[in-house]
Structure 1
Amino acid sequence: MILITDRFDKLIDAIFKITGEVHEKHNHDRIKSAFTELKELSVPVVPIASGIAVLPVIGSIDNERAKMIMQVSLNEAIRLKLKYFILDLSGVTIIDSIVANSLFQIIKTLKLLGVEIIITGIRPSIAQTITHIGLDFNITKISKSLENALSDLGFKQVSSG
């Protein structure tokens, strides 16, 4: 009886161990999936018209998010067959030199794909960072605001009266 109980206990322990491991892996996969979806939502490319889209960047940009912006921007530029891509930085308060360089790489890469980049909403602190590290943003258009950029592309405000 003791031998049977000992074997039964070991069997139950093994079953609980396997069940726990499967449950832990499942939860880990769900968390990883949710985190990936959340990161993708932090880079919303919004189509405005045929061939035109805007990426409103809000919040801080770290190296990981800059990579996500690069990946999503390239994918969406190709998928949407973009001619103009507006990168709106009005929701970004500060970036470091590494992230500014990453944004410059995004601009250069999209330009190689034939997409014209328009940067809007550059705050003074971001302008200082860009100037300090010596990046040449003459390869892209810069506009004061998203409204100005859209106006330059031919969008007109229609009065409601």
Structure 2
Amino acid sequence: MRENISDIDYQQVMEYALDPLIIHSNHKIIYVNHAAEEFFRGTKEEIIGASPLDIFQETSKEAIRMRIQSAYEHPAELIEETIYRMDGTTVNVELYCHPILMGNTKVIQTYVRDITTRREHEKKQKEIVKQINELSATLVPLLDGIAILPLVGSIDEERAHQLLTDVPIKVQTQKVNCLIIDFSGIYKLDSIVTEHLFKINHVMSLLGVHCILTGLRPELALAAVQLGINLEGTLKMATVKDALNSLGIIFTSDSSK
């Protein structure tokens, strides 16, 4: 026998939902489910009757007030906010609200989702990317005035821009007058990134720094030509070892000992 959807007890559906749910009208909370009690660290009796604006920071309240008002007409967009729990602690959340009918009265139902763990993960990821970017702009000193810039991994536009910004500063700080830029460790590039990387060579020449490019694969050389980058006056070698040999620094491999 097919069940009639009108027989579903929606209050039970809301009560046992895993995400905190709040129903409010005219800036007054009239219902919270069990998940909301646990999330806000308070009882229904403590929460019901309060204003939903009370959980927001002062700087956000006016915008939230307008958002709630417009939500009576149509669902509001998903937003991220920092809100207060009843014990005064703060938490990062996603908020989504929409109008529903309670009897003949239109009220607002708000979903709250804790995104603290996601934010912490995103923060760690940004720190890792920052560290990688900093390492990618590291100049490896060899002798006085000579250093290598090893380009490694997948370089996106942000990382390429940081290289273009950081490398000239480090070259001047370390008093480098000959820079070997090694492309052999790069495995992913697009045209924008390629242009940024070859601009480093141009900036070095403006600073009076002699550049040697090594590890240029055919596709990189072709990309440079297609972008109209002129490398005629730049020394190009197959490997870093070849570049060092051209500078008179002879490295003998273990196999030849």
Confirm or deny a common fold (TM above 0.5).
yes
2:168 maps to 74
How far off its partner does 1:53 sit?
Answer: 0.7
Would you say 1:128 and 2:200 are equivalent positions? no
Q: 1 CA distance for matches of 2:131 and 2:188? A: 24
The answer as to whether partners of 2:241 and 2:251 remain within 8 angstroms in 1 is: no
Quote the Cα distance in structure 2 between the aligned partners of 1:31 and 1:59. Answer: 17
Corresponding letter in the other structure for 2:200? I
User: Percent sequence identity over matched residues?
Assistant: 31
CA gap of 1:79–1:6, structure 2 versus 1, over 3 A, is same
Q: Does 1:92 align with 2:186?
A: yes
Residues 159 and 42 of structure 1: CA distance in aligned 2, closer, same or farther (over 3 Å): closer
Query: Cα offset for 1:85?
Result: 0.6
Work out the CA distance in 2 between the residues paired with 1:77 and 1:95: 24
2:225 & 2:156 partners in 1: Cα distance?
A: 19
- For the residues of structure 2 that align with 1:129 and 1:105, how far apart are their CA atoms? 13
Richer in strand (by share): 2
Counterpart of 2:247 in structure 1 is 153
**Are residues 128 and 37 of structure 1, via their aligned partners in 2, closer, same or farther at CA, if it must alter by over 3 Å?**
same
Secondary structure of 1:71 counterpart = helix
Secondary structure (helix, strand or coil) at the match of 1:147 reads helix
State the alpha-carbon separation in 2 of the partners of residues 147 and 38 from structure 1: 25
TM-score under structure 1 normalisation? 0.78
Instruction: Please state if 1:15 is matched with 2:109.
Output: no
Letter of the structure 1 residue corresponding to residue 247 of structure 2: L
Q: C-alpha deviations, 1:95-145, integer Å up to 9, x for none?
A: 322222212221111211111111101011111111222211123211121
Local SS of the residue matching 2:204: helix
Match of 1:58 in 2: 152
- 2:207 matched to 1:113? yes
Q: Cα offset for 1:34?
A: 3.8
The DSSP-based 3-state class of the residue aligned with 2:159 is helix
Contact 1:45 1:53 survives alignment (8 Å): yes
Unaligned runs of 5+ in 2: 1-44, 48-53, 55-83, 93-115
Relative to its length, the structure with more helix (as a share) is 1
Partner amino acid for 1:141?
Answer: L
Root mean square deviation of aligned Cα? 3.0
Distance 2:223 2:123 in 1: 38
Whole-angstrom CA distance in 1 between matches of 2:125 and 2:219: 35
Paired positions, count: 154
AA aligned opposite 2:220: I
Q: Residue type matched to 2:218 in 1? A: P
User: How far apart in 1 are the matches of 2:46 and 2:224?
Assistant: 70
| Structure 1 segments unaligned to the other structure (5+ residues) | none
TM-score, structure 2 as length reference: 0.51
C-alpha distance in 1 between matches for 2:132 and 2:239: 27
> Which amino acid in 2 is paired with 1:15?
D
